[in-house]
Amino acid sequence: MNSEVATVLPGGTNQPKSTRYRFSAEDKALIISDCLAPQAGGKASFTEQQKALFIRTAELRRLHPLLRQIYAILRWSGRNKRWEMSIETSIDGQRALCERPGDFEGLVGPQWCGTDGEWRDVWLEADPPAAARVGVWRAGFREPTWGTVRWGDYAKTGSDGTMWRTMGPHMLSKCAEGLARRAAFPEECSGLYIKEEMESAAAEDLRAAPSEQAPEQAPKEAVGDDAVLADWIQQIEQAPSVEDLDDVGGRIKDAELGELSKKLKTPFKARQVELLQLQDRAGGA
């Protein structure tokens, strides 16, 4: 990745005037092939204008798509009756943005509560929490900036909401953290929502999406089942975090693999357990 001196830097005035992202031609080719491939089972493809906009946005925000810090998602607009691009971040991307000004001073929480309104530092109930909250401390603030979200507003509970069913409290806390970070760091994070915040609303719109591929979009090339299966298993096994594995799971769902998806359940669950164990060890270190 090449870089050059920038006179105006996004993300806070406390940063040194050093460099900002300028993706090389090789990086751009990888981003287009790996991060801007057709979505929704081949029904939706990025236009050249959308590709250019996403790459430029990533450069200005200094977030790298290949590091899974920022994503381009095609979501069906029920109002406009077309596929529209949504630029979203991972929670790790938002964390990187908030670290740059140099005045981030930590988090409070996450915390969860039931319908009794009593906040708890760990959620051990079988039923999902009613709400979650996270507070963000920034230098000069007299109190933390809170992000509070309700389960009913964010949870993706349909048949494709696997992570919400298995890790609901964790997913809800990420939504709360994303909300709190945007409120505490508006210059750095304005307009950037994390994927988990968008999933519920997007699922509603997707149900109204056309079932057939748009005529101007080229059909996907036929690929042997064994090659497709091997490629997905490789992506599952190489996912470096629970969040990245969640992204792979979402792309598997979007790919509409039919019977092949059943063969991916075992490696997906095994990797999920492995990553959770690694996460627990890191937290206890």
Distance CA 84, CA 251 (A): 17
How many helices (H) and strands (E) the chain has is answered by 12, 9
Which of 14-28, 58-72, 244-258, 264-278 is predicted with the least confidence, judged by mean pLDDT?
Answer: 14-28
Q: Is residue 210 part of a domain?
A: no
- Quick one: average pLDDT of 166-193? 88
- Closest by CA position to 98, among listed 187, 199, 3, 201: 187
How does strand 131-138 pair with strand 104-113? antiparallel
By mean pLDDT, which of 41-55, 79-93, 270-284 is the weakest? 270-284
By percentage, how much of the chain surpasses pLDDT 70?
Answer: 79
Helix, strand or coil, per DSSP, at residue 43: coil
Rounded Cα gap, residues 68 and 65, in angstroms: 5
C-alpha span between 97 and 90 (Å, rounded):
11
pLDDT score for 200: 63
Q: How many domains does the chain have?
A: 1
Range of the domain at 265: 224-285
CA distance 131 to 117: 9
For residue 285, is it within any domain? yes
Query: Average pLDDT, stretch 229-255?
Result: 77
- Mean pLDDT over 250-255 rounds to 76
- Report if residue 30 sits inside a domain: no
Evaluate whether residue 39 is within a structural domain: no
Is residue 87 one of the residues assigned to a domain?
A: no
In this prediction the pTM is 0.61
Half-sphere exposure of 218 (CA within 13 A, CB side): 6
